[in-house]
Chain A
Amino acid sequence: MGIYKMPSLGADMESGTLREWEAKEGDNVKKGDIIAELETAKGVIDAEVFEDGVVEKILVKPNSELPVGAPMAIIRAKNEKLEDLEKELEKLQQEASMPKEEEKKEEVVQKKEEVAQPKQEENRIHITPLARKKAKELGVDINEVAKKIKGKISVEDVEKAAKEKNIVYTSPMRQAIAAAMSRSNAEIPHYYLSTKVNMTPALNWIKELNSKRSIKDRILPAALLIKAVAKALEKVPTLNGFWIDNTLQISKEINPGIAIALRDEGLITPALLNVQDMDLDETMKSLSDLIGRTRKKKLKSSEVTKQTITITNLGDLGVEEVFGVIYPPQVAIVGFGKIVDQPWIENDAIAIRKVVTLSLAADHRASDGRIGAMFLNKIDKLLQKPEELL
């Protein structure tokens, strides 16, 4: 394992705050154990360790804000020597304190300088630490405030500036979503497909199943839809993975990110991990658990980083069709709308059926419309024989 660093919980994350250590020096930790509670733009996340080992040294105190990659602890695996790890740590710390010009990659240098410059300007501004924090929270440009204020800028000055400009508080989560979606729209050539699916057989089947079950074991249609998507992905794996460095990486694990609305603000898409290994009941239980923990803000780091595709269901809000924006580096997002009663032609007769509009937005670099069409067709077929999804 070696040096445990501030994990990157998404491409848009720059830093995180350590809230609490969940392990102490001398503890044995196993892969998947929770080692720390981190506060990020995605809320409070339980950070997991990636390998078995012993926590040799804890390097940072709770409530420190750390950039992604900053050393946090030394975790020694069986085959590692403590002195080697200490040397590695020393090297990392030296690198971090080196002047930025010496960075090897030109790209990185450019990016860092962009970030560094405004900071230098900011440093010349007289402002209380609390006012600086408030300005960051409210998205107020302190350079502008400084032009108007003589002397030290206070919290009141920042609040006044925000009010004058009608700035609405933009949460870190909103900012993270903004960054990811801008990147998506700038980089990903989306293509869109949609089809109508007769949900009557599936809903009748669930009704029948639930009527024999206790309320605690009932299945929601959402679980069946997720299972159908996962099963279709097994046949059409091209849509389950990532577009990184101009290549498609197909994932064997099917970890759909499920769009879950938070009551207070925003929406996140934590992963339902390894749906390919679950039956319908397990999918429902895991979904229930995931929604509950998402709303309590108790997610694990793997759940906010390992999504291989996104599934969004806006049906509860009465929307009929979703035109999704892909969450990079994923290559597809599947949308379900509201289930509505519609005329449906079956065997030369018109009948009323429960119908849902199933839609797909996919990355045209990674797949073509034909693949997308096969995928939607597969989901449709699966939902006509729901018993096979059990």
Chain B
Amino acid sequence: MTKEDIKKAIVEEIYNIAPDYEGENIDENANIQEEVEIDSYDFLNLLTALYEKFDVEVPEKDYSKVDTLAKMTDYIFEHLNKK
């Protein structure tokens, strides 16, 4: 799976959680929670959805490594390749 595929899948999940951003361009270097106005509950749901999709579980101590779209993509990409 390429980074582009992963990014696409993440964006899709973000649209599910924040349907009013559907089709909008998401700044990949901005803080996701602020960029698409999601709270800690939504953020946990996003990570749960990605876990179900990629089987990559982000522990809480790594939250700072997944706070932007770009970082989240890299994180999942690296952990998928470790498997």
Residues of A within 8 A of B (CB): 207, 210-211, 214-216, 218, 220-222, 261, 263-264, 287-288, 291, 316
Contacts and interface: CB of A to CB of B under 8 A. Distances in A.
B60 interface: yes
B32 interface: no
Interface in B4-52: 18-20, 33, 37, 39-41, 44, 47-48, 51
Contact of A220 (B19, B20, B37, B41): B41
12 contacts: A210-B60, A211-B59, A215-B47, A215-B51, A216-B48, A216-B51, A220-B41, A222-B40, A263-B18, A263-B20, A263-B37, A316-B39
Nearest to A287: B41
Task: Label chain B's interface by main secondary structure.
Answer: helix
Interface in B45-70: 47-48, 51, 57-61
Task: Label chain A's interface by main secondary structure.
Answer: helix
Given A215-B48, A263-B18, A222 B60 contact: no
B60 A211 contact: yes
Given A215-B58, A220-B41, A287-B41, 9 more contacts: A207-B60, A210-B60, A215-B47, A215-B51, A220-B40, A220-B44, A222-B40, A261-B39, A316-B33
A222 B19 contact: no
A261 B18 CA distance: 12
Contacts of B59: 210-211
A311 to B, nearest CB: 14
Contacts of B48: 215-216
B44 A218 contact: yes
A287 B41 CA distance: 10
A154 B18 CA distance: 37
B56 to A, nearest CB: 10
A80 to B, nearest CB: 44
- Nearest 3 Cβ contacts at the A-B interface: A316-B39, A215-B51, A215-B57
A126 to B, nearest CB: 39
Contacts, number: 36
Given A215-B48, A220-B44, A264 B60 contact: no
Contacts of A291: 41
B57 to A, nearest CB: 5
Interface residues of B, number: 17
Nearest to B58: A215
Contacts of B60: 207, 210-211, 218
Contacts of A218: 44, 60
Contacts of A222: 40-41
A287 B44 CA distance: 13
B44 to A, nearest CB: 6
Contacts of A316: 33, 39-40
A207 B41 contact: no
Contacts of B58: 215
A211 B63 CA distance: 12
B44 A207 contact: no
Given A215-B48, A215-B51, A288 B41 contact: yes
Question: Which of A211, A261, A288, A316 has the most C-beta atoms of chain B within 10 angstroms of its own C-beta?
Answer: A316
Contacts of B37: 263
A144 B51 CA distance: 58
A181 to B, nearest CB: 23
A215 B48 CA distance: 6
Question: Which of B33, B41, B47 has the most C-beta atoms of chain A within 10 angstroms of its own C-beta?
Answer: B41
A220 B58 CA distance: 15
B79 to A, nearest CB: 13
Contacts of B61: 207, 211
B66 to A, nearest CB: 12
Nearest to A208: B60
A207 B59 CA distance: 9
Contacts of A264: 20
Contacts of B18: 263
A306 to B, nearest CB: 22
A380 B5 CA distance: 47
A202 to B, nearest CB: 14
B10 to A, nearest CB: 15
